[in-house]
Amino acid sequence: MGLFDLTGQVAVITGASKGIGRAIAERMAEAGAKVVVSSRKIDACEEVVEGIRAKGGDATAIACNVTHIEQLESLIEQSLKAYGHIDCLVGNAAVNPHYGPMTTIDEGAFEKIMNCNVRANLWLSRLVIPQMVERKGGSIILISSIAGLKGTDDIGTYGMSKAADMAMARNLAVRWGEHGIRVNTIAPGLIKTDFAKALWEDPVKRASVEAQYPLRRIGEPDDIAGTAIFLAADAGRYITGQTIVVDGGSTIAVNGI
């Protein structure tokens, strides 16, 4: 097997019906993995699965609202029933129902962000780790954000949740590393997805952002998918507890966002 070959692996990916999650599912399948495509809407998942199968890949669609613990349990149970084991978990599902100062967020929005962006990743990790321990290996990848590294006046609670994912990865990595389990986060910058549409669909705003990025462009979902494959494959076998920033240089630029 090559350093980036995922043949024989099974990957469960949340929020996989579009954007970054879909790109990770499609590219991991191309790299040889069997993938579980999961999101709230089964029809959207099945569309991704059909595309993967049309290219000769192996994929299964399982609906899951990650804010419900019983659905998280069902997702892992069904994935194990379908494929027998799980080598890689990608926690990608996330929400951000509040734009504005953290001090103006209401309780409902706060709970949605924390339940989806933080609790779900912890519970999923708890559910997959036992069988990874038995098999003496596995990779957990949490999709974070550079918002977890920087201060912001409009998505502060979202950023706090993403910083929590980074801390979660470090702590899980310390506890479970002796069993060959690696846990890392990817912190994307601005990526061209529906989730971040408000930040890039305005051509004037986008041009302003891209002018501040050293690479002079915002990211594409495949830019994150490549990093996820790296962390899941043997190429990343000595990396754990880390946050890999994939942001076109945004965080190194004076005026980057």
The angle at the Cα of 204, spanning 200 to 209, to the nearest 5 degrees, equals 55
Q: What is the residue-wise DSSP string for 181-248?
A: EEEEEEEE-SBSSSTTHHHHSSHHHHHHHHHHSTTSS-B-HHHHHHHHHHHHSGGGTT--S-EEEEST
The angle at the Cα of 156, spanning 219 to 158, to the nearest 5 degrees, equals 60
* Contacts of 254 by beta carbon, 8 Å cutoff, 6+ apart: none
- Clarify whether 99 is annotated catalytic: no
Which is catalytic among the residues 83, 158, 213, 238?
158
Tell me the catalytic residues.
Answer: 158
